[in-house]
Amino acid sequence: MKLTVLIIGCGDIGITLGRELIDEGHRVIGVRRQADRLQGTGIEPLALDLDDLEGAGADALPQADYVVYTVSADRFEESAYKSAYPDGLKRVLGVLEQQETPPRRTFFVSSTSVYGQQEGEEVNELSPTESTSFSGTLMSEAEQALLEHPLPGTVVRFSGIYGPGRDRLIHQVKEGRMAAVTPVIYSNRIHRDDCTGILAHLIRCQESGKSLADLYLGSDCEPATMHNVMSWLAQELKAETTGTMQSPLRRRANKRCDNSRICETGYAFRYPSFREGYRQMLKEGGFLELQNA
């Protein structure tokens, strides 16, 4: 059955998800301020500033079977996060609840920044979220806005996203930088294509009659220390370490993410660990060819 999926905040993840859904035969509408960037993607563009939804009626957004809210704050400031996450999502929900046929489910792309654990503890969907950062606190507020709303909704918390165009760590290793062995800092990661894969998978699950949970943690299958990730990259790149990265005096969080719940739905990770994901990036990005030139 052909579905209509509305992706709000249709950036990198939204475009990649949209293309995957279009390949499956679905209609995708992408909302962003500068909708011309969606040209050539097959996604129907809708130029819209979420601030304009304040007090708007049911026709302010097109009706859709599913809505994916994957907005990004335009800067790392409290006001920007408040506008993008709790305020923006509440405005969208205010419009959706007025529609004659509201969506079957709304997905909110959240972040593992909601966790505040500092000692490398394992966290899952049942773990307390006590972030000390404004970003994590505002993300939690947005999560609650969806979960407490009468319309069906699911939160997906992604850990550190990497993939095409998200190669800062590779460049740091090429420059000879390396994370210290101690203190032990865990790096939880997920490839962009698994972010979109999980979202598409959850839509398929609901369409097949499976019940969805309110919350899923999206992270790959191997929490690894930052030192181990960078050491592996250095080995692949044949890069020599010339300096050690200093750990911040006060970390926002240090935890190990457990992805058991999403795996139990039948989702198979395309990149189960950082090795598969970064190996693909090194190959496609030409980093290994440059290294061997």
**Domains identified in the chain, total number:** 1
Q: At 86, which CATH number?
A: 3.40.50.720
Predicted local confidence at residue 252, as pLDDT: 65
- Work out the angle between the directed axes of helices 12-23 and 192-207 (0-180°, nearest 10): 50
Predicted local confidence at residue 249, as pLDDT: 42
Judge whether 60 lies within some domain: yes
- What are the counts of helices (DSSP H) followed by strands (DSSP E) for the chain? 10, 15
Percent composition of the chain: helix, strand, coil (DSSP 3-state, to 5): 40, 20, 40
Q: How far is CA 170 from the centre of its chain?
A: 20
**Taking every pair of C-alpha atoms in the chain, what is the biggest distance, in angstroms?**
62
Question: Residues with Cβ < 8 Å from 267, sequence gap 6 or more?
Answer: 197, 198, 201
Distance CA 86, CA 109 (A): 12
Q: Which helix (H) or strand (E) holds 67?
A: strand 66-69
Contact 164, 192 (CB under 8 A): yes
Q: Is 171 helix (H, G, I), strand (E, B) or coil?
A: helix
Q: Is 257 helix (H, G, I), strand (E, B) or coil?
A: strand
Radius of gyration of the chain (CA): 20
Identify the CA nearest to 179 among candidates 249, 121, 228, 240: 228
Q: Which helix (H) or strand (E) holds 155?
A: strand 153-158
**Residue 121, CB half-sphere, CA atoms under 13 Å: how many?**
12
Judge whether 233 lies within some domain: no
DSSP string, 108-144: EEEEGGG----S-EEE-TTS-----SHHHHHHHHHHH
The model's pLDDT over 66-115, given as tens digits with 9 standing for 90+, comes to 999 999 999 999 999 999 999 999 999 999 999 999 999 999 999 999 99
Judge whether 172 lies within some domain: no
Judge whether 229 lies within some domain: no
Contact 131, 94 (CB under 8 A): no
Judge whether 283 lies within some domain: no
Predicted local confidence at residue 247, as pLDDT: 58
Judge whether 139 lies within some domain: yes
The model's pLDDT over 183-206, given as tens digits with 9 standing for 90+, comes to 899 999 999 999 999 999 999 999
Predicted local confidence at residue 278, as pLDDT: 97
Judge whether 245 lies within some domain: no
Judge whether 181 lies within some domain: no
Rounded to two decimals, the pTM is 0.94
Contact 174, 211 (CB under 8 A): no
Which residues in the chain land under pLDDT 70? 246-252, 289-293
Determine the structural domain holding residue 12 and report its residue range. 4-165+189-222+255-271
